[in-house]
């Protein structure tokens, strides 16, 4: 198959197609390729401006990346279908188009030079504090942008942000408004409430077998089993290959010799020298004089300080420190390597001049005895050999799996056993079916619909599998007996919810008429921060008005399907407040938010939005 693809790419037709693609790139850029193959209606239009399918898909991918960044390793892409994100992506693009048009109508504009400055100053495109074009292009490609589309996105984002800042930045509140807001925030209220609990209602309802059977017949689609598959697979394990690897004693000995040579190559000498920068007769005579003093017992270090013309070492007694002999000239190195510790050489001539060399010390990495290292060397050689064999087998597995639609072919090529796993659903199963990559591959079009082998799936380092569909088990309706308890619970919840709704409606009708006689739970002189009742009840109490001094009523939904009837009894507005700058800023922020929200709603109300 691979060869067929290669042969097909050499034909005249293929060359013409490639030539057309190159010409399109050259004349119109990559965006033209993205647009090819379209022709369908745009997903939406906003005041005549099209939102393309490509934009929607790009936004979907951006939302996926945000989810992945948010959840990190816990994010499973297979659980998020594109269709789930499509609607929110389209709405986001519609909002973006509205904001962009509003900004343009308001005269907000960012020049190319301003866009360039922002790109050049963006830290994510910099290397060592400087803009790097490669980093810029790489970041854009990974996000699905070209340079032109990214610049347009940046221009739109900056323009809409500028328009938003204009609205929010120009809003302000007067001290009187702040005072009113503070009084409203600090007021106290008396209120009462009665709760209607779903748990109590459940005790009063019952469900017959006939009702369960009727509901089952009308809603069978809710009780379908999941599609399942069973798979055949072959697995390649590096550890299994290790059983067939044998290492000879000669190979172990050869590796030990290499280690010895490596240790020897790291041998370092600590040398000292006395250097005369000339090789003339006078220098030769001076060296003879120095040798005489050494013979009479004078210290090499003292003579180096007195005679040496190497200013970098003479004051250290000629000490050159530890170094490999490769850094020295050949004549110097040969003389040094032939010395015993504390021995001084004869006069050595190099390009630098004349030297007297003393060996101060020698060091090199210690290598344990052969017998001590034999077993570990053998293990290392076996691991190296099995890794080579595993990589070769892995390449064979990839080629055979790709070129054949039968799992038998890669199995025979590598003498692997065909195994079976499943059935399992998209939730996963046991063994290799617990691996998310295997699950995704098992339900992919390639395996499920085309009947092909999967690509090689590397479950871990040194462990890979190829899977093939064994059986597809289509979803069916679960028997009534299996879901009877579930349906009973659903119907009980439904009836109980209807009963709670009925009780609450009857209660508010009687309360308004002054005929409600149930016991109320009353609280007095509470602020908005009161936590002794559910938040929905407190919010309703502070949203209700007093009707000519009389109480008013409201039904609210609380948690877990419960309801509450709330009655406002009194409002205490005579509270002492301390007006602060923070309160003034808080009111200003609230006003700016509400004004911008109203501006957006005005844009939305006046927009011509068509969704296809």
- Dump pLDDT digits (tens) for 225-264: 889 999 999 999 988 887 777 788 888 788 888 787 777 7
Q: What is the mean pLDDT of residues 410-430?
A: 91
pLDDT in tens, 88-118: 888 888 888 888 888 888 788 788 888 888 8
Q: Say if residue 350 is in the same domain as residue 418.
A: no
Residue for token pair 């599998």: 465
Q: Say if residue 10 is in the same domain as residue 29.
A: yes
In a domain, 446, yes or no: yes
DSSP code of residue 43: S
Q: Say if residue 279 is in the same domain as residue 341.
A: yes
Whether residue 428 has pLDDT greater than 70 = yes
What pLDDT is stored for residue 26 in this prediction?
Answer: 45
What pLDDT is stored for residue 208 in this prediction?
Answer: 94
In a domain, 542, yes or no: yes
Q: Say if residue 501 is in the same domain as residue 565.
A: yes
The pLDDT-based confidence of 159 (bands split at 50, 70, 90) is: confident
Least reliable range by pLDDT among 7-21, 120-134, 270-284, 505-519:
7-21
Q: CATH number, domain at 287?
A: 3.10.50.40
User: 257 and 313 in contact (C-beta within 8 Å)?
Assistant: no
| CA separation for the pair 269, 321 (Å, rounded) | 8
What pLDDT is stored for residue 533 in this prediction?
Answer: 92
Whether residue 581 has pLDDT greater than 90 = no
In a domain, 559, yes or no: yes
Whether residue 25 has pLDDT greater than 60 = no
Segments forming the whole domain that contains residue 8: 1-37
Q: What is the mean pLDDT of residues 202-210?
A: 94
pLDDT in tens, 110-149: 888 888 888 888 888 888 888 888 888 888 887 777 888 8
What pLDDT is stored for residue 39 in this prediction?
Answer: 44
156-160, 383-387, 606-610 — most confident range: 606-610
Q: Say if residue 396 is in the same domain as residue 468.
A: yes
What pLDDT is stored for residue 370 in this prediction?
Answer: 80
Strand pairing of 353-363 and 268-276?
A: antiparallel
Whether residue 4 has pLDDT greater than 50 = no
In a domain, 183, yes or no: no
DSSP assignment string, 111-122: -HHHHHHHHHH-
Pick the more confident residue, 192 or 78: 192
In a domain, 135, yes or no: no
What pLDDT is stored for residue 160 in this prediction?
Answer: 79
User: 555 and 564 in contact (C-beta within 8 Å)?
Assistant: yes
pLDDT in tens, 328-386: 999 999 999 899 999 999 999 999 999 999 999 988 777 778 877 887 887 888 788 88
Q: Say if residue 445 is in the same domain as residue 504.
A: no
Residue for token pair 């499920």: 448
In a domain, 66, yes or no: no
- Among 415, 427, 488, 525, CA closest to 79: 427
Q: Say if residue 453 is in the same domain as residue 530.
A: no
User: 455 and 398 in contact (C-beta within 8 Å)?
Assistant: yes
Whether residue 523 has pLDDT greater than 70 = yes
- Among 273, 202, 232, 208, CA closest to 420: 232
Q: Say if residue 384 is in the same domain as residue 465.
A: yes
In a domain, 605, yes or no: no
What pLDDT is stored for residue 68 in this prediction?
Answer: 72
User: 129 and 120 in contact (C-beta within 8 Å)?
Assistant: no
- Among 472, 440, 441, CA closest to 80: 440
Least reliable range by pLDDT among 137-141, 200-204, 213-217, 348-352:
137-141
Last residue of a domain, one of 473, 496, 517: 473
Query: What proportion of the chain, given as a percentage, has pLDDT over 90?
Result: 39
In a domain, 299, yes or no: yes
When divided into structural domains, the chain yields a total of 4
Mean pLDDT for the chain overall: 83
Q: Say if residue 281 is in the same domain as residue 358.
A: yes
């Amino acid at each position: 198959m691979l060869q067929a693809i290669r042969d097909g790419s050499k034909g005249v037709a293929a060359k013409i197609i490639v030539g057309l693609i190159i010409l399109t790139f050259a004349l119109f850029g990559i965006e033209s390729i993205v647009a090819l193959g379209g022709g369908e209606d745009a997903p939406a239009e906003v005041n005549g401006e099209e939102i393309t399918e490509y934009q929607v898909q790009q936004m979907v991918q951006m939302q996926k990346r945000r989810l992945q960044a948010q959840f990190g390793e816990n994010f499973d892409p297979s659980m998020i279908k594109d269709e789930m994100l499509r609607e929110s992506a389209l709405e986001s693009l519609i909002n973006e188009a509205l904001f962009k048009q509003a900004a343009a109508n308001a005269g907000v504009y960012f020049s190319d030079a301003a866009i360039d400055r922002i790109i050049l100053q963006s830290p994510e495109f910099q290397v060592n504090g400087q803009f790097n074009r490669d980093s810029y292009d790489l970041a854009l490609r990974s996000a699905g942008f070209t340079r032109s589309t990214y610049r347009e996105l940046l221009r739109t984002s900056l323009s809409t942000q500028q328009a938003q800042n204009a609205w929010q930045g120009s809003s302000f509140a007067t001290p009187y408004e702040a005072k009113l807001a503070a009084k409203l925030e600090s007021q106290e209220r008396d209120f009462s409430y009665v709760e209607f609990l779903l748990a109590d209602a459940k005790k009063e309802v019952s469900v017959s077998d006939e009702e369960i059977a009727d509901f089952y017949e009308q809603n069978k689609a809710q009780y379908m089993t999941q599609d399942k598959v069973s798979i055949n697979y072959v697995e390649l394990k590096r550890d299994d290959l290790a059983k067939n690897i044998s290492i000879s004693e000669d190979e172990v000995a050869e590796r030990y010799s290499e280690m010895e040579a490596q240790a020897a190559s790291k041998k370092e000498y600590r040398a000292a020298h006395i250097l005369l920068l000339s090789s003339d007769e006078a220098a030769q005579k001076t060296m003879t004089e120095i040798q005489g003093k050494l013979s009479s017992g004078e210290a090499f270090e003292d003579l180096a300080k007195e005679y040496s013309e190497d200013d970098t070492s003479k004051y250290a007694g000629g000490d050159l420190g530890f170094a490999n002999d490769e850094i020295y000239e050949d004549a110097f190195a040969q003389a040094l390597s032939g010395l015993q510790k504390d021995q001084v050489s004869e006069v050595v001539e190099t390009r630098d001049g004349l030297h007297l060399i003393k060996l101060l010390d020698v060091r090199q990495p210690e290598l344990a005895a052969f017998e001590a290292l034999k077993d570990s060397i053998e293990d290392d050689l076996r691991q190296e050999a099995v890794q080579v064999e595993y990589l070769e087998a892995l390449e064979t597995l990839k080629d055979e799996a790709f070129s054949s639609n039968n799992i038998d072919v890669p199995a025979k090529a590598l003498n692997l056993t065909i195994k079976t796993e499943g059935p399992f659903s998209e939730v996963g199963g046991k063994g290799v079916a617990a691996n998310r990559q295997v699950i995704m591959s098992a339900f992919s079009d390639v395996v499920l619909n085309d009947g092909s082998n999967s690509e090689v799936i590397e479950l871990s380092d040194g462990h890979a599998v190829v899977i093939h569909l064994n059986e597809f088990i289509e979803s069916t309706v679960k028997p009534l007996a299996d879901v009877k308890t579930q349906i009973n619970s659903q119907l009980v919840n439904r009836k109980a919810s209807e009963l709670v709704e009925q009780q609450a409606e009857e209660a508010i009708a009687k309360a308004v008429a002054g005929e409600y006689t149930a016991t109320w739970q009353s609280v007095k002189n509470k602020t908005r921060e009161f936590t002794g009742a559910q938040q929905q009840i407190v919010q309703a109490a502070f949203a209700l008005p007093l009707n000519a001094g009389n109480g008013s009523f409201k039904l609210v939904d609380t948690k877990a399907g419960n309801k509450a009837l709330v009655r406002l009894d009194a409002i205490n507005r005579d509270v002492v407040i301390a007006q602060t700058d923070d309160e003034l800023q808080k009111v200003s922020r609230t006003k700016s938010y509400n004004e911008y929200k109203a501006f957006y709603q005005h844009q939305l109300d006046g927009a011509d939005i068509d969704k296809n």
